[in-house]
Amino acid sequence: MYDFHIHSIYSNDCKYELDEMIKSARIRKLKIVYCCDHFDVHSEPHKDLTFDADEYWKEIKRINKKYDDIEVLAGIEMNIDLNSIVRVDNVVDLQEFDLIILSFHRINNIFLNEIDYNEINIDKNIYREYYYQILEVIKKYKNYDVLGHLDYIDRFGPDIKFAYYKDIIAEILKILIKEGKSLEVSTSGFSHRVARQYPKKEILTLYKKLGGTNIIIGSDAHYPEHVGFNCKNIINYLKKLGFENISVYRKRGMQKIRI
């Protein structure tokens, strides 16, 4: 079993040492785990949320030497916008990682959980704005491997019908497919109000219909007890939707494993 997305103390929103997270993974008999801590780069450097990459790699190497029954790989969950793209390569050497997940937690530099969705000027257009932002970034930025938890906005926003923004989602998925990127299926939504994976079934079905085959699975765990959460069940779910493989990354190179 695999978990392609866990966090550790290197993320600003996780208080657990990597060793503690990996001990939990070993209890659950996971074979491969990717530590993908948050790495947010802004157009304004003082707003960056980053960590010391050299220290990070050393810690992951130390953990791999300590345990021989699990492989821990180095990833990051990167959050950028159009204005910060030019800074990324000067901030960190992304080629040293095994996996880069590109995720979006903000709209116009405001975090999704800080938006008052009850305000009179917040309506369903915010969904189109969110996805349009993702589309514009991936049109210009290519140095990543996976698009993370695509419909994460559903955790916070109003219940908007998929048809209202399906056209933008389709354009996003077409770019992923054309460029050989992977789509993350995150089990973290099962512990949020949506009570399902990110992205929703409609997006996964559309991805499959358009020819998408590259998938990773991850718990997005910030607590030891969430490592590997529902990953086995989500593999069975993906099989039912017609997916046959998951993508495994080492040093940014992708291989397929049959599920």
- Predicted confidence band of residue 120 (pLDDT cuts 50, 70, 90): low
Any idea where the domains of the chain sit in the sequence? Answer: 2-258
Evaluate if residue 122 carries a pLDDT over 90: no
pLDDT of residue 14: 95
pLDDT of residue 109: 81
Cβ(76)–Cβ(37) below 8 Å: yes
pLDDT of residue 141: 96
* pTM recorded for the entire structure: 0.95
- Predicted confidence band of residue 116 (pLDDT cuts 50, 70, 90): confident
pLDDT of residue 110: 85
What's the whole-number mean pLDDT along residues 114-142? 87
Cβ(101)–Cβ(146) below 8 Å: yes
Lowest mean pLDDT among 63-77, 151-165, 195-209: 151-165
Evaluate if residue 34 carries a pLDDT over 70: yes
Alpha carbon distance 189, 191 (integer Å): 5
- 223 vs 24, 63, 77, 103, CA distance in Å? 9, 18, 16, 19
The string of DSSP codes covering 77-121 is EEE--TTTHHHHHHH--GGGSSEEEE---EETTEEGGGS-TTSTT
Q: Is the dihedral of CA 254, 103, 157, 9 positive or negative?
A: positive
Cβ(227)–Cβ(238) below 8 Å: no
What's the whole-number mean pLDDT along residues 204-210? 98
What's the whole-number mean pLDDT along residues 18-47? 94
What's the whole-number mean pLDDT along residues 228-234? 93
Mean pLDDT, the chain, whole residue set: 94
pLDDT of residue 124: 74
- Predicted confidence band of residue 194 (pLDDT cuts 50, 70, 90): very high
pLDDT of residue 43: 85
- Predicted confidence band of residue 77 (pLDDT cuts 50, 70, 90): very high
- Predicted confidence band of residue 187 (pLDDT cuts 50, 70, 90): very high
Evaluate if residue 249 carries a pLDDT over 80: yes
Over residues 98-111, the pLDDT tens digits come to 999 999 998 888 88
CATH of 2-258, one of 3.40.50.360, 3.40.50.10190, 3.40.50.300, 3.20.20.140: 3.20.20.140
Lowest mean pLDDT among 64-68, 155-159, 238-242, 253-257: 155-159
Here the tokens at position 108 are 């116009």
